[in-house]
Amino acid sequence: MSSNINPTNINGAYPIAGQDNDSQGFRDNFTNIRTNLTHAKTELEDLQSKVVLKAQLNGGNPVDNSFTGLLMTGAQTKAFTESIIDHGTKTSSVVLDFTMGDFQKVTVGGPLSVEFTNWPAAGVYATIRAWFVSPTSSSAPMDPITFPAAVRAGVNAVFGLDASGSAPILTPTRTGNYFIEFGTIDGGITVSAVLLFSPESADEFVLNSIDNNMKGHVLSNYAASSITHTFTSPAALIDLSVADMHRVVATQSLVLAFDNWPSTGYATTRLWVTISNVSHTIAFPAAVSVGLNKVPGVTGQILTPTAGNYLFEFSSMDAGATILVVPLITP
């Protein structure tokens, strides 16, 4: 917007020295000054209610930097952390509210039923990382954790999770910590589950992605942008400037390509592919040269898939010249 303040309507040469001056000129200047001050007040108050602040303004309201779902693009972040909520010990049920925190901890004090609420509307990718503590005082067998029926994608890759019934049930086999990332792109209708760590898992290195350093900025209720592609040819372009989460239901073989990696910094994007026909292969570009040998079914740069859901995370720190792939979910 352009400012309504107009300094040109104030006559700086009035009054004229050495002669009688009409009092109307004074009144005109005073009126225009008052009008401009009124515009300045209105515009400053509008800014105070909308700008992103580093600290509370003198005499102002507490800082609330909610973006209310607005898109933020082209940003390079450093030393960001995520908000945390500790639900304490729960003996029967717990609600994981997306708006309360990105990282939520629950100590299991009995057979537990988990529900999700306040996922963002469909069209963005949102996640909650949940930390379930199965304490040493638990009885044997361990107290089970029941998740909503919407938790379907990736459940077969979560150790100890039985998805054969109407609702998936995790029955811990050992005391300790279970870290699971839940995600959705359709407002919680379908929720994916990615096991980050459990006492049964040797992949403790995944925990390096969890940083509880509360210095610097805190992200809360953060949702990544997402897009569902309909490719009419094998060429499947994953454009990082379009979205952070890309969804494809494969109707043919795919030849992946990436575009618009940031020129500086470390960047990631995720790709969720659903395969129904195992003859539909996925070809990765030559730049995907790190971690590809860890993807089950890959020979060279070609994935011969199994029917089901694949969730890949791709990352690069050299503008896409070298791309690391991590298979978060495989059938």
Choice between 218 and 9, residue whose per-residue pLDDT is larger:
9
Predicted confidence (pLDDT) per residue in 70-126, tens digit: 777 787 777 777 888 999 999 999 999 999 988 999 999 999 999 999 999 998 899
Lowest pLDDT segment from 31-40, 60-69, 155-164, 252-261: 60-69
Distance CA 323, CA 256 (A): 12
What average pLDDT does the structure give for the chain? 86
**259 has pLDDT over 70:** yes
pTM: 0.63
Residue 278: closest CA among 258, 303, 256, 246: 303
pLDDT score at 127: 94
For 2, 81, 109, 119, 262, the CA distances from 222, given in Å and listed in that order, are: 31, 11, 29, 11, 20
- Domain boundaries, given as residue ranges, for the chain: 1-65, 81-209, 230-329
Give the phi and the psi of residue 266 in degrees, each rounded to 5. -100, 130
User: How many C-beta atoms lie closer than 10 Å to residue 114's C-beta?
Assistant: 22
Chain CA centroid to CA 279, Å: 32
Q: 175, 138 in Cβ contact below 8 A?
A: yes
Kindly state the DSSP code that residue 176 receives in the 8-state scheme.
E
Residues in the chain: 331
